[in-house]
A and B are shown apart, each in its own frame.
Chain A
């Protein structure tokens, strides 16, 4: 298991370093269109071929990884923090307040938030830079995606509060913030981490779905979500297996996050 964890951490490190060094490693700028070479196959010039506009797919994958690898976890972090806060409030407050908080959580799970995203996009100026637009999109996704995690956190917090070691801690005189910081949070960490990692692919894909509605990453900036849209061209996929590169990288990266996390928990 240690070896698996090491491998996962090395892989994650490699992915992070290559995305940070995208400007050095990429054969071309992500927006440069080699118009004489659209839909090219893999070659020395284009290790993963080119997309339908002749843009080097490897370069776009490197830059896209930078966008997704930093913004999706940022959104996941926002949603996990909100989930921890709201789930915690629900348990630490009285029964009535807990019911109210849980009802709000259920409400959040069932509302068509898509329209809020559309409304926010409409309020933004059209000339906003692609990076700013994508940061706002991810921040919004993060602040709306806490409800599912909050239920899990709430259930786990309740279980912990009723556990023997918490009773011991209370009996030993721990109260308030110290009880929370020294006993509850360390024991909640695995649940929070699990929610954090699970949210990452969810946010990456939410961004893809939003880009179908025009609310994702704007051209020419790449992201894993926008690169995954290439998979929609079903009829061409069998002829261009390298289009799966972004999917393989996404699955491999998130799987490595999971392996690293599970080992840490173990």
Chain B
């Protein structure tokens, strides 16, 4: 009786030893990098934040995968696929003998289940919304275990590419979304501190030599909100890569270890400012008149030294922006367009022609109001705060007083989406997709993200009506040439009217430890680990190649 505690104790000790042995398996390789926050969800259908997106990419199995370098679609869980003539249905032939991480079999029923869940109108999934071109239901037709046809209510441009974002869920696994088909599965989650992803023992992919992928046994994602600390940890060798760096950290790391940093050239993201053109905003009428004037917007645009922004704020790791499509997007970018050149004299002439006059170094409008406005941006983003300070000095040169106001994000969002109590705003656009169709919710005048004047019942200006027409037209045809013509024209209108004053396109900057091999940095997200199952660490390089 006295020894009754011995058995449970021995069992506990044995369990602990086994756990220790498992966690420190000899030779186990661990890839370490940082995520900016705790993932909000592990449900791949509800992903809407960067951290959850990272986990989905590392754990989710998809039917097709976009090769981030060649920008071509590669077969994954689907060995082949065909799209019908009008682009409203897609048929996949699925890989056989594939299992989820928990051992459950994968079949066409899982794809059907995932699509039904994804397209549930009550789910409001951002991934699902990308498939919604018109009202109606989505149907699935399963033929045997390995063939499925998904039919949408209308044609969808770039339909197959959208499946790069759809991680297939198991219809039958008791582990629900935690049963995955990707290279890793979530094995431990210490809230706010780290996530451990272990190698999926049932991952279907093998290298040409027959070795099961991925090569790296474990991925450790450290939750690290502070980007400066992340750079510091990189310089100390505590993490293996930084997927996206700001120019300042890039230069700092470069000065210490030039071989560790990579500039993949201009990326897809842009930084832009815009004026509030909402008719119902609480701004005085004379300011509304300034902001809706094309001459005024163009004059402001011409007064900004974009080259200085690139050189000073981004240390040369950016390009003056032209339009909503980055020059990195070679097919869709309109090559005829050039960035707006700095010309303060031309800007002043245009303003004079519009009734503005310079008096004692201050610009006044026709009614004698001094030209002064505020520019809001999100606090804590150093690059934007610096850009705003530089624009402030540029505009002072033409007699305009700019007040820079930094606001925390919720306050800023409230102003630009609810109260419209702001004058100008400086923000960036994060672009994950090459196809401009994904920007429909920005360019349609009725859209909520048509920032300068959202949710219009009818287009407020003829040029917005023209953009509406062109964007709808390009979304309704599968003819790439016709689509390109339409999108080129939209870029020209945006360049002329400047509802968004595009400032810079940032370069895709990253840092990679020399210990990590087989890295092929790309401008598309996730820049460094898009081929995660091919990456190797340290001496494993010999076996991988």
Do A and B touch directly, given a CB cutoff of 8 Å in the complex? yes
Which A residues contact B (CB, under 8 angstroms)?
31, 33, 35, 38, 52-54, 118, 121-122, 126-130, 211-215, 218-220, 232-236, 239
Within 8 A of A (CB), among B347-405: 372-374, 376, 378-380, 385-386, 388-390, 392-393, 403-405
**B491 on the interface (CB 8 Å rule)?**
no
What distance in Å separates the Cβ of A43 from its nearest Cβ neighbour in chain B?
18
Q: Are A31 and B393 in contact (CB under 8 A)?
A: yes
Given contacts A214-B405, A218-B405, A236-B252, contact A127 B386 (CB under 8 A): no
Q: CA A235 – CA B250 in complex, angstroms? A: 10
B228 CB contact (under 8 Å) in A33, A126, A235 = A235
What distance in Å separates the Cβ of B68 from its nearest Cβ neighbour in chain A?
27
**B423 on the interface (CB 8 Å rule)?**
yes
What distance in Å separates the Cβ of B314 from its nearest Cβ neighbour in chain A?
11
Given contacts A35-B312, A52-B312, A220-B389, contact A127 B232 (CB under 8 A): no
Q: CA A48 – CA B373 in complex, angstroms? A: 33
B423 CB contact (under 8 Å) in A126, A128, A220, A236 = A126
Known: A54-B312, A215-B379, A219-B385. 15 other contacts (CB 8 A): A53-B390, A126-B403, A126-B422, A213-B379, A214-B380, A214-B408, A214-B411, A218-B405, A218-B406, A220-B392, A232-B226, A233-B228, A234-B229, A234-B232, A236-B251
Q: CA A128 – CA B393 in complex, angstroms? A: 18
Which residue in chain A gives the minimum CB-CB distance to B403?
A127
In the complex, what residues of B have CB within 8 A of residue A212's CB? 379-380
A218 CB contact (under 8 Å) in B255, B373, B390, B403 = B403
Given contacts A126-B376, A233-B248, contact A52 B386 (CB under 8 A): yes
A235 CB contact (under 8 Å) in B252, B378, B380, B386 = B252
**B253 on the interface (CB 8 Å rule)?**
yes
* Cross-chain pairs A/B with CB under 8 angstroms, 25 sampled: A33-B312, A33-B390, A35-B312, A53-B313, A53-B390, A122-B411, A127-B372, A129-B403, A211-B406, A212-B379, A213-B379, A214-B380, A214-B406, A214-B408, A215-B408, A218-B404, A219-B385, A219-B388, A232-B226, A234-B228, A235-B231, A235-B248, A235-B253, A239-B252, A239-B255
Which residue in chain A gives the minimum CB-CB distance to B373?
A127
Q: Which 8 pairs, one residue from A and one from B, show the smallest C-beta to C-beta distance?
A: A214-B379, A214-B406, A235-B252, A126-B374, A219-B404, A235-B231, A234-B232, A219-B389
Most chain B CB within 10 A, of A211, A218, A234, is at: A234
What distance in Å separates the Cβ of B107 from its nearest Cβ neighbour in chain A?
50
In the complex, what residues of A have CB within 8 A of residue B255's CB? 239
How many CB-defined contacts (below 8 Å) exist between A and B?
92
Give the secondary structure class of B's interface: helix
In the complex, what residues of B have CB within 8 A of residue A213's CB? 379-380, 408
**B308 on the interface (CB 8 Å rule)?**
yes
Q: Are A219 and B235 in contact (CB under 8 A)?
A: no
Q: Are A235 and B232 in contact (CB under 8 A)?
A: yes
Q: CA A35 – CA B404 in complex, angstroms? A: 19
In the complex, what residues of B have CB within 8 A of residue A122's CB? 411
Most chain A CB within 10 A, of B229, B253, B393, B422, is at: B393
In the complex, what residues of B have CB within 8 A of residue A53's CB? 312-313, 386, 389-390
Q: CA A52 – CA B315 in complex, angstroms? A: 10
Given contacts A53-B389, A126-B423, A213-B379, contact A35 B408 (CB under 8 A): no
Q: CA A214 – CA B409 in complex, angstroms? A: 10
In the complex, what residues of B have CB within 8 A of residue A126's CB? 374, 376, 403, 405, 421-423
Q: Are B231 and A234 in contact (CB under 8 A)?
A: yes
**B16 on the interface (CB 8 Å rule)?**
no
Within 8 A of A (CB), among B308-336: 308, 311-313
**B149 on the interface (CB 8 Å rule)?**
no
**B249 on the interface (CB 8 Å rule)?**
yes
In the complex, what residues of B have CB within 8 A of residue A121's CB? 407, 411
Q: Are A128 and B392 in contact (CB under 8 A)?
A: no
Q: CA A258 – CA B138 in complex, angstroms? A: 73
In the complex, what residues of B have CB within 8 A of residue A220's CB? 389, 392-393, 404
In the complex, what residues of B have CB within 8 A of residue A118's CB? 408, 411
Which residue in chain B gives the minimum CB-CB distance to A114?
B408
